[in-house]
Homo-oligomer: A and B are copies of this chain.
Amino acid sequence: MTYDIAIIGAGPAGVSAAINAKILDKSFIWLAGSAESKKVSRAEKILNYPGLPDISGEELSAALKRHCDTLSISPTAAKVTGIYPSKTSFTILTGDEAPVARSVILCLGVESFKPVPGELDFIGRGVSYCATCDGFLYRGKTIAVLCTDKRLEHEISFLAGLASKVYLMPMYPGCEVKGDNIQIIHKYPVSFQGGMRLERVCFKDGEITVDGAFLLKESLPPASLISGLATTGDGHISVSRSCATNIPGVFAAGDCTGRPYQYAKAVGEGNVAAHSAVEYLAALDK
């Protein structure tokens, strides 16, 4: 089956897009790295989400979840690793399945860790965001693994089972992964370097030689997901007032489109993006 819309992300923008896709009676698939937005739940106090005064992030998360429940919709846990356009549809690559949709709404949030200089240049040439997709390419090789989230530790273990040597950079406290072939480095890279392929991960005070690097993050740099997606100078997705990106059929909403990083802005854009996607589909069907 080809879905009308694929919604990527389950923060407030994704929730709003999904609510509207449902109400506007479109078929859609809703994918999210983790089934709900961690960022919302983490907020201590939200004073400016109109209609819900003075609530905690957890309460807003719960309210959004209840709203989805009343409409019988919920995101599917799946890490999207790539989106490939064909003539009139998009194939969404995940670890497991590859659903197809006629339009896409990106609600990716913002990556708290900026791309490392060189990172985007070596995508597909040594830099990977998906252990299960690309791990087997590095059997018996030396790899660097940068991980921003404890919940992704199983991917580290998976990679350590394949590679001969893993330089592990955990970007969170309390890393519990251990292994004879794992060397932990408590530094953040300053650049990725190499020729045709990635060869070196560089730090302020030295470098390591690797065959590849895995960046295990909760949210991916937008440009790494769809080839040719226009972004602003500071890494946000460029969108029009109607939340359209430069790629016909691809829309974006929420923090990934830029500041202010605000819940109200995110739900507003999720709403607009869903309406724009529906208009786009109507024009296709003419």
Which A positions have Cβ atoms within 8 angstroms of B?
12, 15-16, 19-20, 23, 47-54, 60, 63-64, 66-67, 70-71, 239-241, 257-260, 262, 264-272, 275
Q: How far is the CB of A128 from chain B (nearest CB, A)?
A: 33
**C-alpha spacing A267/B12, complex, angstroms:** 13
Contacts of A257 in B (CB 8 A): 241
> Chain A contact residues: over half helix, strand or loop, or mixed?
helix
Q: Which residue of B lies closest to A239 (CB)?
A: B241
* B258 with A275: CB separation less than 8 A: no
Find chain B residues with CB under 8 A from A60 CB. Answer: 51
Contact A23 B51 (CB under 8 A): no
List, sorted by A's number, 23 A–B pairs whose CB atoms are closer than 8 Å.
A15-B50, A16-B50, A16-B264, A19-B50, A23-B47, A49-B51, A50-B64, A50-B67, A50-B267, A51-B63, A52-B52, A52-B67, A53-B66, A53-B70, A53-B71, A54-B70, A239-B241, A241-B241, A259-B275, A262-B272, A264-B270, A264-B271, A268-B272
Is the pair B275, A262 in contact by a Cβ cutoff of 8 Å? yes
**Nearest chain B CB to A50 CB, angstrom units:** 5
A234 to B277, CA, bound (A): 21
Q: A51-B67, A53-B70 are in contact. List 12 more A-B contacts (CB 8 A).
A: A12-B50, A15-B50, A16-B48, A16-B264, A19-B47, A48-B271, A50-B67, A51-B267, A240-B241, A241-B257, A259-B275, A265-B272
